[in-house]
Amino acid sequence: MSVKNTLLALLYQRPMHGYELGKQLKLTVHAEWDVKPGQIASTLARLKDAHLVDYEIEETDDAPDRKVYFITNEGLDELRQWYLMPEVREYRLGDTFYVKLVLSLVGGPINPEQVLMVQRRELYQQLHEITEMRRQADLRTQLPWVMLLDSAVMHLEADLRWIEMCEARLPDLKRYDPPRPKPKARGRPRHRTRQKEKSIPSGD
Protein backbone atom coordinates (compact mmCIF):
# COMPACT_ATOMS: atom_id res chain seq x y z
CA MET A 1 0.00 0.00 0.00
CA SER A 2 1.13 3.54 -0.70
CA VAL A 3 1.66 5.47 2.52
CA LYS A 4 2.51 8.56 0.48
CA ASN A 5 -0.78 8.69 -1.41
CA THR A 6 -2.80 7.66 1.64
CA LEU A 7 -1.46 10.64 3.58
CA LEU A 8 -2.16 12.93 0.63
CA ALA A 9 -5.74 11.63 0.51
CA LEU A 10 -6.23 12.29 4.23
CA LEU A 11 -4.72 15.77 3.98
CA TYR A 12 -7.09 16.51 1.10
CA GLN A 13 -9.89 16.16 3.67
CA ARG A 14 -8.35 18.68 6.08
CA PRO A 15 -4.94 19.80 7.43
CA MET A 16 -3.54 17.55 10.17
CA HIS A 17 -0.38 17.01 12.17
CA GLY A 18 1.51 13.71 12.09
CA TYR A 19 0.00 12.10 15.19
CA GLU A 20 -3.49 13.05 14.05
CA LEU A 21 -2.83 11.52 10.62
CA GLY A 22 -1.93 8.18 12.21
CA LYS A 23 -5.11 8.15 14.28
CA GLN A 24 -7.29 9.20 11.35
CA LEU A 25 -5.77 6.52 9.11
CA LYS A 26 -6.82 3.73 11.47
CA LEU A 27 -10.29 5.19 11.99
CA THR A 28 -10.88 5.64 8.25
CA VAL A 29 -9.41 2.53 6.65
CA HIS A 30 -9.83 -0.06 9.46
CA ALA A 31 -7.66 -2.51 7.47
CA GLU A 32 -4.89 -4.50 9.13
CA TRP A 33 -2.27 -2.04 8.00
CA ASP A 34 0.00 -0.88 10.78
CA VAL A 35 1.78 2.34 9.82
CA LYS A 36 4.24 3.38 12.50
CA PRO A 37 4.50 7.05 13.61
CA GLY A 38 8.11 7.11 12.42
CA GLN A 39 7.03 6.01 8.94
CA ILE A 40 4.41 8.76 8.83
CA ALA A 41 6.98 11.35 9.92
CA SER A 42 9.57 10.27 7.34
CA THR A 43 6.94 10.15 4.59
CA LEU A 44 5.73 13.65 5.45
CA ALA A 45 9.32 14.89 5.28
CA ARG A 46 9.73 13.39 1.80
CA LEU A 47 6.40 14.86 0.69
CA LYS A 48 7.54 18.26 1.92
CA ASP A 49 10.84 17.96 0.01
CA ALA A 50 8.88 17.03 -3.12
CA HIS A 51 6.58 20.10 -2.62
CA LEU A 52 3.52 17.82 -2.38
CA VAL A 53 2.67 19.06 1.12
CA ASP A 54 3.57 22.04 3.25
CA TYR A 55 2.97 22.90 6.88
CA GLU A 56 2.22 25.70 9.27
CA ILE A 57 3.45 25.90 12.85
CA GLU A 58 0.64 25.65 15.38
CA GLU A 59 1.45 27.12 18.77
CA THR A 60 0.04 25.42 21.86
CA ASP A 61 0.07 26.46 25.50
CA ASP A 62 0.47 23.05 27.14
CA ALA A 63 2.57 21.19 24.52
CA PRO A 64 5.42 21.83 22.09
CA ASP A 65 4.56 23.64 18.88
CA ARG A 66 3.58 21.23 16.12
CA LYS A 67 3.57 21.16 12.34
CA VAL A 68 0.12 21.07 10.76
CA TYR A 69 0.42 19.72 7.21
CA PHE A 70 -1.75 20.59 4.22
CA ILE A 71 -1.75 19.39 0.63
CA THR A 72 -0.31 21.66 -2.08
CA ASN A 73 -1.46 22.07 -5.68
CA GLU A 74 1.33 19.74 -6.79
CA GLY A 75 0.18 17.23 -4.18
CA LEU A 76 -3.39 17.49 -5.46
CA ASP A 77 -2.21 16.68 -9.00
CA GLU A 78 -0.29 13.67 -7.66
CA LEU A 79 -3.33 12.50 -5.72
CA ARG A 80 -5.63 12.78 -8.74
CA GLN A 81 -3.21 10.66 -10.80
CA TRP A 82 -3.16 8.01 -8.05
CA TYR A 83 -6.95 7.80 -7.91
CA LEU A 84 -7.16 7.39 -11.69
CA MET A 85 -4.48 4.67 -11.85
CA PRO A 86 -6.09 1.19 -11.90
CA GLU A 87 -4.77 -1.41 -9.47
CA VAL A 88 -4.11 -5.01 -10.53
CA ARG A 89 -4.89 -7.24 -7.58
CA GLU A 90 -2.70 -10.29 -7.02
CA TYR A 91 -4.26 -13.58 -8.08
CA ARG A 92 -1.45 -15.73 -6.72
CA LEU A 93 -0.07 -16.84 -10.07
CA GLY A 94 3.10 -18.55 -9.02
CA ASP A 95 2.85 -17.87 -5.29
CA THR A 96 4.87 -19.79 -2.69
CA PHE A 97 2.18 -22.41 -2.07
CA TYR A 98 1.87 -23.22 -5.78
CA VAL A 99 5.63 -23.68 -6.07
CA LYS A 100 5.64 -25.86 -2.93
CA LEU A 101 2.84 -28.04 -4.32
CA VAL A 102 4.51 -28.51 -7.70
CA LEU A 103 7.83 -29.46 -6.11
CA SER A 104 6.08 -31.99 -3.87
CA LEU A 105 4.52 -33.54 -6.99
CA VAL A 106 7.86 -34.13 -8.68
CA GLY A 107 9.43 -35.63 -5.57
CA GLY A 108 10.02 -34.16 -2.14
CA PRO A 109 10.34 -35.22 1.51
CA ILE A 110 6.63 -34.36 2.06
CA ASN A 111 3.96 -35.82 -0.21
CA PRO A 112 1.40 -33.57 -1.96
CA GLU A 113 -1.48 -34.96 0.12
CA GLN A 114 0.11 -33.54 3.28
CA VAL A 115 0.96 -30.26 1.59
CA LEU A 116 -2.67 -29.82 0.55
CA MET A 117 -3.96 -30.88 3.97
CA VAL A 118 -1.79 -28.35 5.83
CA GLN A 119 -2.82 -25.57 3.44
CA ARG A 120 -6.51 -26.42 3.74
CA ARG A 121 -6.26 -26.36 7.54
CA GLU A 122 -4.65 -22.90 7.45
CA LEU A 123 -7.27 -21.58 5.04
CA TYR A 124 -10.09 -22.78 7.29
CA GLN A 125 -8.40 -21.10 10.26
CA GLN A 126 -8.13 -17.83 8.36
CA LEU A 127 -11.73 -18.14 7.20
CA HIS A 128 -12.88 -18.63 10.80
CA GLU A 129 -10.95 -15.53 11.96
CA ILE A 130 -12.20 -13.34 9.11
CA THR A 131 -15.79 -14.53 9.59
CA GLU A 132 -15.57 -13.63 13.30
CA MET A 133 -14.23 -10.17 12.44
CA ARG A 134 -17.09 -9.81 9.95
CA ARG A 135 -19.61 -10.75 12.64
CA GLN A 136 -18.25 -8.16 15.08
CA ALA A 137 -18.10 -5.31 12.54
CA ASP A 138 -20.71 -2.55 12.70
CA LEU A 139 -22.53 -2.22 9.38
CA ARG A 140 -23.59 1.33 10.17
CA THR A 141 -20.13 2.77 10.84
CA GLN A 142 -17.74 0.27 9.20
CA LEU A 143 -19.36 -0.64 5.91
CA PRO A 144 -16.16 -0.25 3.78
CA TRP A 145 -14.33 -2.52 6.25
CA VAL A 146 -17.17 -5.05 6.05
CA MET A 147 -16.91 -5.07 2.26
CA LEU A 148 -13.16 -5.73 2.50
CA LEU A 149 -13.83 -8.63 4.89
CA ASP A 150 -16.40 -9.99 2.43
CA SER A 151 -13.76 -9.86 -0.28
CA ALA A 152 -11.33 -11.80 1.93
CA VAL A 153 -13.98 -14.44 2.65
CA MET A 154 -14.68 -14.90 -1.05
CA HIS A 155 -10.97 -15.29 -1.85
CA LEU A 156 -10.48 -17.82 0.95
CA GLU A 157 -13.51 -19.82 -0.18
CA ALA A 158 -12.19 -19.81 -3.74
CA ASP A 159 -8.79 -21.05 -2.50
CA LEU A 160 -10.50 -23.85 -0.59
CA ARG A 161 -12.43 -24.92 -3.69
CA TRP A 162 -9.14 -24.96 -5.63
CA ILE A 163 -7.59 -27.19 -2.93
CA GLU A 164 -10.52 -29.58 -3.34
CA MET A 165 -10.01 -29.62 -7.11
CA CYS A 166 -6.32 -30.43 -6.66
CA GLU A 167 -7.16 -33.28 -4.28
CA ALA A 168 -9.69 -34.69 -6.74
CA ARG A 169 -7.09 -34.65 -9.53
CA LEU A 170 -4.12 -35.85 -7.51
CA PRO A 171 -3.73 -39.11 -9.50
CA ASP A 172 -3.30 -37.05 -12.68
CA LEU A 173 -1.16 -34.43 -10.97
CA LYS A 174 1.24 -37.09 -9.70
CA ARG A 175 1.99 -38.05 -13.29
CA TYR A 176 3.37 -34.58 -13.92
CA ASP A 177 6.83 -34.91 -15.43
CA PRO A 178 8.38 -31.51 -16.14
CA PRO A 179 10.67 -31.29 -19.15
CA ARG A 180 14.36 -31.06 -18.51
CA PRO A 181 16.57 -28.39 -19.98
CA LYS A 182 18.55 -29.42 -23.03
CA PRO A 183 22.13 -30.24 -22.16
CA LYS A 184 24.50 -27.49 -23.06
CA ALA A 185 26.76 -28.38 -25.93
CA ARG A 186 30.34 -28.75 -24.84
CA GLY A 187 33.17 -27.24 -26.80
CA ARG A 188 36.31 -29.06 -27.80
CA PRO A 189 38.63 -29.78 -24.91
CA ARG A 190 41.66 -27.63 -24.86
CA HIS A 191 44.91 -29.38 -25.82
CA ARG A 192 48.04 -28.57 -23.98
CA THR A 193 50.62 -27.16 -26.32
CA ARG A 194 53.84 -29.02 -26.06
CA GLN A 195 56.96 -27.04 -25.95
CA LYS A 196 59.21 -27.92 -28.78
CA GLU A 197 62.31 -29.50 -27.50
CA LYS A 198 65.34 -27.42 -28.30
CA SER A 199 67.75 -29.31 -30.39
CA ILE A 200 71.06 -29.73 -28.68
CA PRO A 201 73.89 -29.15 -31.08
CA SER A 202 76.05 -32.22 -31.59
CA GLY A 203 79.71 -32.18 -30.74
CA ASP A 204 80.69 -33.31 -34.25
Give domain status of residue 68, yes or no. Answer: yes
Tell me the C-alpha distance between 16 and 41, whole Å. Answer: 12
Give domain status of residue 184, yes or no. Answer: no
- Same domain? 168 vs 120: yes
Give domain status of residue 178, yes or no. Answer: no
**Residue 16 domain boundaries:** 3-83
- Same domain? 72 vs 108: no
Tell me the C-alpha distance between 71 and 13, whole Å. Answer: 9
pLDDT above 90: residue 29:
no
pLDDT above 80: residue 144:
yes
Name which of 5, 50, 41 is nearest 20 in CA terms. Answer: 41
Tell me the C-alpha distance between 71 and 44, whole Å. Answer: 11
pTM score, whole prediction: 0.71
Give pLDDT tens digits for 33-59: 778 899 999 999 999 999 999 999 988
104's CB contacts (< 8 A; 6+ apart) are 110, 111, 112, 114, 115
Tell me the C-alpha distance between 181 and 179, whole Å. Answer: 7
How many domains is the chain built from? Answer: 2
Give pLDDT tens digits for 162-192: 999 999 999 999 999 888 778 776 666 565 5
Give pLDDT tens digits for 184-200: 766 665 655 555 445 55
CATH of the domain at 60: 1.10.10.10
